[in-house]
Structure 1
Amino acid sequence: MGGEHDSLPALLRTWRKRTKVREIQGLTASGRRAECLTQRDVARLVGVSERWYGAFERGVEAAYSPVFLNRLSSLFRLSPAERQTLYLKVLGHPPAPTGSVSAGAVSEIDVQLLQQFLDNQDPAPAFATDLAWNVIAYNGALLHWFPWVSVEVNQMRWILLAPEARYQLVSWRRDWARPLLGRIRYERAHHPNNEVLIRLERDVLAGSTDVREMWELREVADSSPGRLRRLRLPCHRGREVAVRIVAMRLMYGESLYVNVLLPDPAGDEDVI
C-alpha cells in the first residue's frame, strides 16, 4: 500500500488534515483544536480504536472492510474519484457498483462530461441517478450537503429508511416519503419485470412500518420538478433552507436523470 507523495499514508494524512473539526457535528472546536481532525477523532467517529486507525494510516496491511472504507469516505467527504482511489489502494479494486437498471446506460454516456456538467452547477448541489435512484455521479456541493452519498448511494433508500432523513427533510412524510413512494409505484408499473426496481420496492417496504403504511395508500406520482421543498441539514447548522429540485432526463440515456437543487430565498422567507 506504499508509494511516495501519493502513498496511502500520505493521502490519508492530507484528507484528515483538511477535515475541520468545526465541520463535524458533535465535536467541540476551540483554538488550534479547530484546525483538523486527530487520529483519535477519526477512530472514534468511524468506530475503531485509536491504535487500529493509527496502524491503518501508517499503511499497515490488514483485512480492511468496505464498511470501514465507506465510513472513512463519508467522514473525510471524499469525492467519487478520491473514494475510488482509497478502494484501489486498500483493496485493489474500485467500490462495488450498486446495480443499475440498465447496465449499458452508464457506458453509453461520457462519464467525464457528465461529471464536468455536475461540477459546473456549483455552488448548487447536483447529482445524476439511474432509473432505480442509484446515485452514479455528484458534485462537491452535494457531498457537502449530504455526506451520506459516499456511503449509501441509493437516494430512495436513504430518504425512506435513514433515521436522520426524517429530521433533515422537513415535512418528511408529506413532501418526501409519500411522493417518492408514488414514484416507485409509477416506475414499477412501467417496468414490471425490472429486478432492480422489484428489489428496491421490497427493501424499502421491509425496512419501515411507516413506509408500509404509506404504501397501502396506493398513491401514484410522476416526477414533480420545481416543487418547493425544505431541508434542515447539519452543514446549515440546522437552519431550514428552501430548495427547488430541477430534474432533467438525459437525451442519450432514457434511464438517467440529472437533478439540481436550487436554493430559493423566497421560500426561506416563509419558514417560521
Structure 2
Amino acid sequence: MDFRGGQGDVGDPGEESLSELLRSWRRRLDPRTFPGLPVRGRRGRGLTHSDVARLAGVSARWYGSLEQGREAGYSADFLDRVSAVLRLSRAERQALYLRAVGRPPALAAVPAVDAAAEMDATLQHFIDNQAPDPAVVTDLAWNMVGHNKAAELWLPGAVQMGNQMRWTFLSSEAREQLVCWERDWARPYLGQIRYERANHPKDEALRRLEHDILEGSPDARRIWDRREMVDHGDGALRRLKVRYHRGREVAVRTVALRPARSDMLRVTVLMEDGHEAIGR
C-alpha cells in the first residue's frame, strides 16, 4: 500500500498526499505557543520537521518517514502524539490515520467527555419537536441525559429508572410493554451493548452496564452467549403495549442518530407507524 499519493489537483482533498497534509498542518502553527521551543533565528513560519519530532518525543528520522509518506508500522500512540502536537481536529486526526495506516482511529482512543454537558438547549428543542413521538438522548452507556414529554407519557418507568437498557432487562414491566421482548428488543439491544463494549473496552460505565444486566437477568445471560453484534437500531420496526395507549398494541419505527459534534451521545425517536397492521 502506497500512502505517498500524487500531487493531484490543487484544492482536491481526496488527492492530497500525507506529506502535503503534514507540512501544511505544522506550518500553520506558531512556535511561540509551545513552551521551551526556541524561536530565535527562524526564517519561516510554523513548526519545523525537527520541532514536531522533538515535541512528539521521537527521532527526526522516524517522524520524517511519516511526513515523507513511507509505509511503516506506525503505532496509534505515535499517531496520537503527532495529532496532539499538530493540534489536529477530530476530522484531521482521522485523515492522518487513513493516510498513514489505512484505517480510522479506534473509537476507544477518543477522549472521554461529559455526555450530560453535551446535552444543551438546542438538542432539547430538537427532541421536544419530535412530539407526539417519544424521543430520548442517551450517553454511551444508555443513561438518559434528555427526553421529551412524550417519552414520559409512553415509557414512564424507563424515564424514572434513567437508563434505557437497565429498564429493558431489569424491569418486569418492560417484559409486558415491549412486544416480542426477546426477538425484537432484547437480542438487538444486547448486540448493541456488545458492539459498544468492543469499541470502548475501557469504558467503566459500559462495563458496569454489561455486568449488572448479565447478573440480574438469566435470559440476558442466555442471549449474550449468542455473541451477536448490532451497531445500531435505526429503521427497526417494533411493537409496544403501553398504558398511555390503554394497552393497545402500537407499531413504532426506530430512528437512531448521533449529533455530529459528539460520539458519546445518541438520539432515539420511536415514530408511531400507522401503516403497520396490529394484532397479527
Task: Give the TM-score taking structure 1 as reference length.
Answer: 0.60
Q: Contact conserved, 2:119 with 2:145, CA < 8 A, in 1?
A: no
Superposed CA offset, 1:148-175 (max 9, x none): 2442001000011111111100000000
Which residue is 1:105 aligned to? Answer: 115
Which residue is 1:126 aligned to? Answer: 135
1:243 aligns with 2:249: no
Which residue is 1:220 aligned to? Answer: 229
Question: How many residues are matched?
Answer: 170
Offset at residue 270 of structure 1 (A): 4.2
**Secondary structure in structure 1 of the residue aligned to 2:114:** helix
Give structure 1 stretches of 5+ with no counterpart. Answer: 1-100
Could you tell me how far apart the structure 1 residues matched to 2:115 and 2:239 are?
A: 31
Task: Give the TM-score taking structure 2 as reference length.
Answer: 0.58
Which residue is 1:257 aligned to? Answer: 266
Q: Contact conserved, 2:151 with 2:159, CA < 8 A, in 1?
A: no
Superposed CA offset, 1:7-40 (max 9, x none): xxxxxxxxxxxxxxxxxxxxxxxxxxxxxxxxxx
Could you tell me how far apart the structure 2 residues matched to 1:149 and 1:165 are?
A: 8
Offset at residue 217 of structure 1 (A): 1.2
Could you tell me how far apart the structure 2 residues matched to 1:150 and 1:102 are?
A: 24
**Secondary structure in structure 2 of the residue aligned to 1:164:** helix
1:187 aligns with 2:196: yes
Which of 154, 157, 170 is residue 163 of structure 2 equivalent to? Answer: 154
Which structure would you say has the larger Rg?
2
Offset at residue 222 of structure 1 (A): 1.3
Cα distance change, pair 142–178 in 1 and its aligned pair in 2 (3 A): same
Offset at residue 104 of structure 1 (A): 2.7
Which residue is 1:168 aligned to? Answer: 177
Cα distance change, pair 166–110 in 1 and its aligned pair in 2 (3 A): closer
Which residue is 1:232 aligned to? Answer: 241
Superposed CA offset, 1:211-244 (max 9, x none): 1111111111111311110000011111100000
**Secondary structure in structure 2 of the residue aligned to 1:243:** strand
- Higher RCO (C-alpha under 8 Å, 6+ residues apart): 1
**Secondary structure in structure 1 of the residue aligned to 2:142:** coil
Could you tell me how far apart the structure 2 residues matched to 1:221 and 1:151 are?
A: 26
Could you tell me how far apart the structure 1 residues matched to 2:112 and 2:241 are?
A: 33
Which residue is 1:199 aligned to? Answer: 208
Could you tell me how far apart the structure 1 residues matched to 2:233 and 2:152 are?
A: 23
Matches within 5 A, 1:137-152: 137-152=146-161
